[in-house]
Amino acid sequence: MAYYWFKAFHLIGVVVWFAGLFYLVRLFVYHAEAAEQPEPARSILKAQYEIMEKRLYNIITTPGMVVTVAMAIGLISTEPEVLKSGWLHIKLSFVALLLIYHFYCGRIMKQLEKNECKWTGQQFRALNEAPTLLLVVIVLLAIFKSQLPLDLTTWLIVALVIFMVAAIQLYAKKRRKDREKLLQVTEKKELTV
């Protein structure tokens, strides 16, 4: 019975953790783009994003991570023979990368607060895709275990990366065009006044 409790709360922790990671870096995008705004909007937005980032990281994301890891340890304690499985070692390697990503986001948050971060909104959009890739690989390993079809999985990951890069580039192009249109409209209004 303990196995099912550990597994249930492990999955709940994973959902909370990933929700926090996805939204945190999205806030970094907005935080970086707030620097492009004129005052007083820049200061107001920066202060608001700092509050949101800290609360998200400390109240949702980090507790989600702690629950996930603690429940994973509980799961392993109910069936320690799983530690001999190669697929679990690979999965745990990807989880280690996810933990590094988590703490790196905490570091970025502090850099943003001190105005020491030089990342652009576009770069944060790319960084925001990393947990998606890790999630896909980790879930596939958890479901398929040692039967994971590596050929198909490799192509799936490659296709996902290509799709993400293309989507980020297309969105950047759309944003540039929207900005240019807005600038043209503003210039026309100024000319008519």
Residue 181, annotated as binding a ligand: no
Please confirm whether the linkage preceding 40 is cis (ω < 30° from 0). yes
* 91 labelled ligand-binding: yes
Q: Which of 171, 174, 162, 176 is nearest to 26 (CA)?
A: 171
End-to-end CA distance of the chain: 74
In three-state secondary structure terms, 155 is helix
CA angle 115, 118, 119 (to 5 degrees): 120
How far is C-alpha 36 from the chain's CA centre?
A: 23
Binding site listing for heme: 10, 91
Binding site listing: 10, 91
